[in-house]
Amino acid sequence: MTATENLIAAIGPWLDEAKLHMDQERVDAYVACLQADGADVQIVIRLREGTISLDGTHDDQRLDFYRQAVRPPEALNWIFGAHRSKDEQLR
């Protein structure tokens, strides 16, 4: 599987876990965002902050359903160029 396929495959179990930490009001709002026209649900990975959150939008309102602190991933080193030599980073 590709890295993208692995990421997509991890979403389902992560959502199941996130729902266990939400009260019924948040679960209801989450389901409404999945079903309502013009609404949407996002999983946001904030690399520098070290969080993953489940957010929704509905009627131009941003809704916070769940936020989990995570150890900043090794991907930060990759993103900011630590995998490249100093000469490559300067280009």
Per-residue pLDDT for 30 more than 80? yes
pLDDT number for residue 5 = 93
69 or 86: which leads in pLDDT: 69
* 4 phi, psi to nearest 5 deg: -65, -45
* Distances 48 to 6, 51, 90 between C-alpha atoms, Å: 21, 8, 22
Q: Once rounded to an integer, what is the mean pLDDT over residues 39-63?
A: 90
Q: Once rounded to an integer, what is the mean pLDDT over residues 51-78?
A: 84
Per-residue pLDDT for 88 more than 60? no
27 or 85: which leads in pLDDT: 27
Q: Once rounded to an integer, what is the mean pLDDT over residues 36-58?
A: 91
pLDDT number for residue 79 = 61
